[in-house]
């Protein structure tokens, strides 16, 4: 069983992952409107990943005998000034999620809840990849500047991204 605080924070994280999916849907829509379908695809796949992250928390709470509590999902920002500005916001959001995962680990350690700590380690590693992924695109967009040809080449590259079911979810299927 979870402590009351651990369960509340896991449920909160489930909500944050759904919010992440919602935020990235807004970002996908921005790129559709700009005619950048590769960038839009990047966020479509990212949205699917976030839904999968939420599902992983959902299933873990249930498996360990906790109650899932569903709260309202906050409305995401929808006004973005530029592709670079948007990606900086996405990176800042991932850094926030990393801080959340670290908080959850701290709570699990404090509770001597080894199962939850072990479960969270996949997310610790995943957040390194998430930040690396967004940071890489921020750096590319900074290099690209106002070069439209280079922007379209990056767009073509991002069109290749495909969704891969994350490990913990693939194992539970
Ligand atoms: Fe679920 Fe992008 O972290």
Is residue 97 within 8 A of residue 20, CB to CB? The reply is yes
**pLDDT (tens digit per residue) in 126-136:** 999 999 999 99
The answer to whether residue 75 is domain-embedded is: no
- pLDDT category at 171 given cuts 50, 70, 90 is confident
The answer to whether residue 109 is domain-embedded is: yes
Report if pTM > 0.85: yes
The answer to whether residue 103 is domain-embedded is: yes
Number of the ligand 1 atom closest to the C-alpha atom of 54: 1
The answer to whether residue 169 is domain-embedded is: no
**CATH code (residue 37):** 1.20.1260.10
The answer to whether residue 173 is domain-embedded is: no
Listed in sequence order, the DSSP H helices in the chain are: 4-34, 37-63, 83-110, 114-144, 148-158, 167-172
The whole-angstrom separation of Cα 154 and Cα 113 is 44
* Residue 172: pLDDT over 80: no
Number of the ligand 1 atom closest to the C-alpha atom of 94: 2
CB-ligand 1 contact for 53 (6 Å cutoff): yes
The answer to whether residue 121 is domain-embedded is: yes
Which strand (E) or helix (H) includes residue 40? helix 37-63
Q: How many domains does the chain have?
A: 1
CB-ligand 1 contact for 20 (6 Å cutoff): yes
The confidence score (pLDDT) of residue 173 equals 66
Instruction: Give the range of the structural domain holding residue 114, as residue numbers without chain letter.
Output: 4-69+80-162
The answer to whether residue 53 is domain-embedded is: yes
**pLDDT (tens digit per residue) in 62-79:** 999 999 999 999 999 999
Which tokens is 54 given? 């939420």
The answer to whether residue 144 is domain-embedded is: yes
Tokens 């928390």 found at: 57
Please state, as a whole number, how many other Cβ atoms lie within 10 Å of the Cβ of residue 170.
10
Largest interatomic CA distance in the chain: 55
Structure-derived torsion over alpha carbons of residues 11, 78, 52, 135, reported in degrees to the nearest 10: -100
Tokens 């959001």 found at: 93
**pLDDT (tens digit per residue) in 87-101:** 999 999 999 999 999
CB-ligand 1 contact for 41 (6 Å cutoff): no
Percent of the chain with pLDDT over 90: 95
Which tokens is 51 given? 């839904």
The whole-angstrom separation of Cα 92 and Cα 103 is 17
CB-ligand 1 contact for 97 (6 Å cutoff): yes
**pLDDT (tens digit per residue) in 105-116:** 999 999 999 999
Number of the ligand 1 atom closest to the C-alpha atom of 17: 1
């Amino acid at each position: 069983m979870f402590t009351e605080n651990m369960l509340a924070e896991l449920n909160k994280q489930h909500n944050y992952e759904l919010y992440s999916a919602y935020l990235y849907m807004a970002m996908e829509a921005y790129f559709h409107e700009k005619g950048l379908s590769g960038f839009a695809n990047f966020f479509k796949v990212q949205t699917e990943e976030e839904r999968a992250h939420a599902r992983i928390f959902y299933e873990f709470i249930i498996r360990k005998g906790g109650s899932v509590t569903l709260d309202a999902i906050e409305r995401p920002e929808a006004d973005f000034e530029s592709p670079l500005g948007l990606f900086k916001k996405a990176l800042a959001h991932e850094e926030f999620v990393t801080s959340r995962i670290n908080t959850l680990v701290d709570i699990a350690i404090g509770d001597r809840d080894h199962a939850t700590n072990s479960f969270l380690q996949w997310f610790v590693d995943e957040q390194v990849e998430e930040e690396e992924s967004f940071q890489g695109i921020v750096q590319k967009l900074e290099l690209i500047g106002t070069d439209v040809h280079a922007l379209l080449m990056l767009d073509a590259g991002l069109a290749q991204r495909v969704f891969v079911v994350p490990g913990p979810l693939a194992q539970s299927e």
